[in-house]
Structure 1
Amino acid sequence: MTYSLTQLAPGAYDLLLNGEIIGSVVRSGSRQPYTWTAELLEDLPQSKRPAPFTTIEHNFSTLEELCTWLGDPQVKANRRESESL
């Protein structure tokens, strides 16, 4: 399975599996330590959840830890901040 993350805004990503949006990754908290959460959009039975999901939502201390858990997905940054107006 190939995961990827597409940044929507600082601290918010779409979670894609084989090019299809299946969930989100978000950063909680206004100050460190942050909590990063990977969450599926659908409440699928455990047997139908994509690996490594065992529950609908998993929490991590860092985005790097979350990415390692997902198998080091490609992360696409939001380019709007670098575009000139």
Structure 2
Amino acid sequence: MTDKQTNSIVAKIIGAGAAFLAALVVQKVLALAWKAKTGHKPPAADDQGDAGLAEVVAAAAITGALVAMSRVLATRGTARFTAQVDDGPDLNPMD
């Protein structure tokens, strides 16, 4: 296995971890914001509560959009970072 393949695998693992953590943070922040605004936690799929359809749809749409956006941004940021690390510093100042 070449160094480039190893770096690619490491970048994918780091990217997946960053995307997972970003999604987790967004869900926690959203739950806190939802509770501050409505006084209760956002409705979940297994809740037997009395949340209306509009509230369930709004919670699902907001959560889905924000989690997807955070995953994309985390994955792109990780890809940029690993590309810079893979390229390494410019050691030849004569170029």
Greater gyration radius: 2
| Structure with the higher fraction of residues in helix conformation | 2
Q: TM-score range by the shorter chain?
A: under 0.3
Larger relative contact order (Cα-Cα within 8 Å, sequence gap ≥ 6): 2
TM-score, normalised via structure 2 length: 0.21
Higher strand proportion, which one?
Answer: 1
Length-normalised TM-score, structure 1: 0.22
